[in-house]
Structure 1
Amino acid sequence: MSASPALRPSYAVVLRVPHARRTFAAALTGRLSYGIVPLSVMLAVTRSSGSYSVAGTVMALFGATTVFLSPARAALIDRHGPRRALVPMTAAYLATLALLTSALLTPALARPGAAPAAVLGGLAAAAGACVPPLGPTMRAVWGGLTPDRALLQRAYSLDGVAEELLFVTGPLLVGVLVGFAPPAAGIVVGAALMAGGMAGFVSSPAVRAVRPGKTGVRRGGGGLRGLGRPVVAIAGVGLALGVVDLLVVAFAERHGHGAGHGAGGADAAWVLAALSAGSAVGGLLNGAVAWRTPAGARLPLLTAGLGLTLCGAGLAPGLGTLTVAVAAAGFFVSPAITTAYLIADEAAAPEARVRAGAWVNTAVNAGSTAGTAVAGALAGWLPVGLCFVVTGAVVLMTAAAVAVRTARRTTSDLVPLA
């Protein structure tokens, strides 16, 4: 469906596309599980094992299989179609979550220190390996629903902002839930959301119309050729996000907002909320603008904007100015990620669109994980302000590298597949 010339592309027009609201609502219901299950697993494992070390190891296994096997799961969807791949994938995911919940709630294992770490780690890794890639699949379906590029830009922006809000809402719901139920109950709630959302998603006419090897109706590219720029740029964005999460906490503690007072976590939470708010505003504005500049040219500019604002955050004298600087940095996050998805969609062949989105998604998540590890090392021996500047400089170098590749109009970018 193309936008009518008499109908200006907008978010309202996107949601009026036949089957869009139903499909999007179902996908968001399932994706809310992503914001609930990880935190619930971590809290439940901590309570069951009585060890933060065990909980950290279990979550590392869950996160690693979730992130790094995402392209492989996406390849199954491209090859077999969403319905044939997602249904068994979801069934396996729910089954492993049920086994994990059972292990955490079994009376013999319920006391701290009794739960076998190897069993919990194995079940968590298996669950992560089966996580259905609803985000990349929904973005591929958006490509079929809105082949008009202006509408697709708005659809991706709306999708990105909604997903970010889900990752804020999920932990809040877990916080409410653990007030009157064991943490493992959050796993059950997350599983129920995934089951209900997936049932609605795969039964949607928009998803039923997708055939294996044809996850969108558009001109094909060369498989996954051309993904180098968006993957590199978004890995840099993810790195910045992982660093900022830890540096904000360190900043609050070192500026007297946490040490000895117990307020550092609360102050850091407000600063990180400003990051999310800035990202949401930037994402909505980015989707509303009728850009004349191609997405390939916008991506390094947006990445550079993030780098510059992070350098500015390094000059913040207090928590108030840091909040403003971090909100300004967030303004570039969602637009950069949305633009990367647009480039990936444009570059990928029809039979590889889910994988293309999954590679971008993997890049931001892997970058974030690496960023958290790097920030922990940097913050141990550098002033926090200088850590922000170093991070901003790395993001600026990433933007420069992407800009050079864009200027050369290279056609040799190919993400290696296993």
Structure 2
Amino acid sequence: MSVSRASYAAVLRVPHARRTFAAALLGRLSYGVVPLSVMLSVTRACGSYTVAGGVMALFGGTAVFLSPARAALVDRHGPRRALLAMNAAYLTLLALLALCLCLSRPSALVLAPLAAAAGACCPPLGPTMRAVWGHLAPDRGLLQRAYSLDGVAEELLFVTGPLLVGVLVGLAPPAAGILFGAALMGGGTVAFVTSPVVRAVRPGKGTERRGGGGGLRRLGRPVAAVAAVGLAIGVADLLIVAFTESHGHGGAHAAWLLAAMSAGSAVGGLAHGAVSWRSATGARLPLLTAGLGLTLCAAGLAPGIVTLGVAVAAVGFFVSPTITTGYLLADESAAPEARVRAGAWVNTAVNAGSTAGTAVAGASAGRLPIAVCFAVTGVVVLMTAAAVTLRPFGAGRRVPV
């Protein structure tokens, strides 16, 4: 491996890259604003954490698990038509949800279907932007840096979004955050689809109907690897909180530890993207996954807050590179007409793994020592790395369509 001469600045110097990327990031900032705003709004309006949790589960569930279906619409009809239609439905439903939450004692029977429908219509700007990077940066080295930059920027959005909500709720009711998030998505989507490079993307050719599947049948191993990353994130987030509480520290220490893991992920993602790898994408994926598993096992040995901070930063160092490599491998495996779906499946796997990890950690943290929970999670990730290594990925070859 060697450090590439092409910098991240070279990615942004590609024609139309800055405008398109900025528009996508503006819309994707809504992902970090709307969920928390919905949670706070429902809690305040209904006075029930149970109702708020149920509404959020429906919103998040349809947003995450229907992402491949929405991506299929983008592949089939093109980003301009599909994203504008989803954007209109999403904004309308969020506006109705905000209106209902401004009423006195809104009914959960009304809020729940509105939230579920809004999540189902959420425009998949992330997977679409990653597919557009393939048009902007056809060179594999440049595309690797573009994906790394995209991944780090998206992670920062999920930190910035809740901070903006925190400022906004000090000035206005939480329902205003829903409308603010809708405005971000509306403006970002319109700016994104009017970019010249996005307008040039043509609808797909119905690869499934012709029997090829667009290469999507070959996504099993990258999806498994990034699902393991999501599992690790979900477990680590909860175990960090449990660790600080067991050592008599407050929430501020947990926040710093979570920030250390995010910082490690950002550093790892940028470092990974700056290297020109001689090894194939499929060969790197199990090695990065194994590195994540080993650092998780090591985190369980940390005796105190400082050492755990170092350990979770090391865990984070492998998070972004593994996810980026999963996206790269999915892009290599999929036909051009199925790139958005391929990225959506990887994105769904990360989110599903994180949800499962949080649930598993919540059930086991009170019954098992925290060190054991870290170790068991690390072993599961290592087993996934071994499964991913079983046979070559055949990176770079596409399924005939």
Match of 1:226 among 215, 218, 222: 218
Matched, 1:247 2:244: no
User: Is the contact between residue 223 and residue 351 of structure 1 (CA under 8 Å) also seen in structure 2?
Assistant: no
Moved more, 115-124 or 161-170: 115-124
| CA shift for structure 1 position 43 | 0.5
CA distance in structure 2 between the partners assigned to 1:222 and 1:128 by the alignment: 26
Q: Deviations over 1:120-150 (max 9, x none)?
A: 1111100000000000000000001111000
1:239–1:371 CA contact under 8 A, matched in 2:
yes
1:386 partner letter: V
Q: CA RMSD in A?
A: 1.8
Deviation at 1:223, TM superposition (A): 3.0
- Does residue 32 (structure 1) correspond to residue 24 (structure 2)? The answer is no
Task: Report if the CA contact (8 A) 1:229-1:405 is conserved.
Answer: no
Equivalent residues in 2 for 1:302-381, closer than 5 Å: 302-381=288-367
TM-fit CA distance, 1:214: 7.2
1:406 CA displacement: 3.0
Q: Does 1:292 align with 2:278?
A: yes
In the alignment, the residues of structure 2 paired with residue 62 and residue 225 of structure 1 have an alpha-carbon distance, to the nearest angstrom, of 28
Counting aligned pairs with the same residue, the percent is 77
Q: Residues of 1 paired with 2:367 and 2:54: CA distance?
A: 25
1:148-193: CA deviations, max 9, x gaps?
Answer: 0000000000000000000011011111111121111111111111
CA drift at 1:222: 4.4
Quick one: structure 1 residues 410 and 171, their matched pair in 2 at CA, closer, same or farther if it must change by over 3 Å?
closer
The answer for unaligned runs of 5 or more in structure 2 is 207-211
Q: Partner of 1:126 in structure 2?
A: 117
User: SS at 1:223's partner residue?
Assistant: helix
Distance in structure 2 (CA, Å) of the matches to 1:8 and 1:269: 36
1:330 maps to amino acid: G
Q: CA deviation at 1:350?
A: 1.0
TM-score, normalisation: structure 1: 0.91
The answer to whether structure 1 residue 48 and structure 2 residue 42 are counterparts is no
Alignment of 1:120-199 (within 5 A): 120-199=111-190
Give yes or no for contact 2:332–2:395 (8 Å, CA) kept in 1. Answer: no
Q: Residues 17 and 35 from structure 1, CA distance in 2 versus in 1: closer, same or farther, beyond 3 angstroms?
A: same
* Whole-Å separation in 2 of the counterparts to 1:292 and 1:222: 27
TM norm structure 2: 0.95
- CA deviation after TM superposition for structure 1 residue 49, in Å: 0.8
Kept in 1, the 8 Å contact 2:214–2:338? The answer is no
CA distance in 2, matches of 1:344, 1:319: 37
**Which letter does structure 2 place at the counterpart of 1:204?**
S
Asked whether the equivalents of residues 215 and 334 of structure 2 are also in contact (C-alpha less than 8 Å), the reply is yes
1:305 partner amino acid:
G
What secondary structure sits across from 1:115 in the alignment? coil
Deviations 1:86-127 (A, max 9, x none): 001000000000000000012xx2xxxx22112111111000
Change (3 A) 1:39 1:252: same
